[in-house]
């Protein structure tokens, strides 16, 4: 895992926490409306695992996830990154939304990197 500044660590953890909250809200709304929640549930689980791994690597917080959980989360986060990058490309330069997306992309990449570095068969 590459050296990451304390500022980037904090931004990435905050971004992942924000993403978890956003997905929890989306899941709640979709559940109430009766929509299919499979994809949001899968993404929420993966982002939660990504957050836990970042906190484990940087703050030595333990997590309960198995190597299989980590591998699956890594795949989901890797698959999620292009859609966030696409939103970033469409966002207006200098906008708060662009900054948020920039941080989210960095956090997702770091989470995938952290997951891969902790897997026993990387």
The verdict on residue 121 lying in a domain is no
Domain count, the chain: 1
Task: Give the Cα separation of 82 and 94 in Å (integer).
Answer: 21
pTM of the predicted protein model: 0.94
Task: Give the Cα separation of 122 and 111 in Å (integer).
Answer: 14
Q: Report pLDDT digits (tens) over 44-89.
A: 999 999 999 999 999 999 999 999 999 999 999 999 999 999 999 9
The verdict on residue 53 lying in a domain is yes
The verdict on residue 40 lying in a domain is yes
Domain residues for 19? Answer: 6-116
Radius of gyration for the alpha carbons in the chain, expressed in angstroms and rounded: 14
The residues near 110 (Cβ < 8 Å, ≥ 6 apart) are: 4, 8, 12, 54
Distance of CA 42 to the CA centre of its chain: 12
């Amino acid at each position: 895992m590459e050296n990451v500044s304390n500022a980037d660590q904090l931004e990435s953890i905050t971004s992942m926490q924000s993403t978890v909250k956003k997905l929890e809200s989306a899941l709640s709304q979709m559940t109430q409306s009766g929509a299919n929640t499979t994809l949001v549930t899968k993404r929420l689980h993966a982002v939660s695992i990504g957050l836990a791994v970042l906190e484990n690597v940087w703050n030595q917080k333990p997590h309960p996830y198995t190597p299989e959980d980590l591998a699956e989360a890594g795949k989901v986060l890797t698959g999620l990154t292009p859609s966030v990058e696409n939103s970033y490309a469409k966002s207006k330069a200098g906008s708060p939304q662009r900054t948020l997306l920039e941080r989210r992309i960095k956090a997702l990449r770091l989470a995938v990197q952290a997951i891969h570095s902790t897997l026993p068969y990387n």
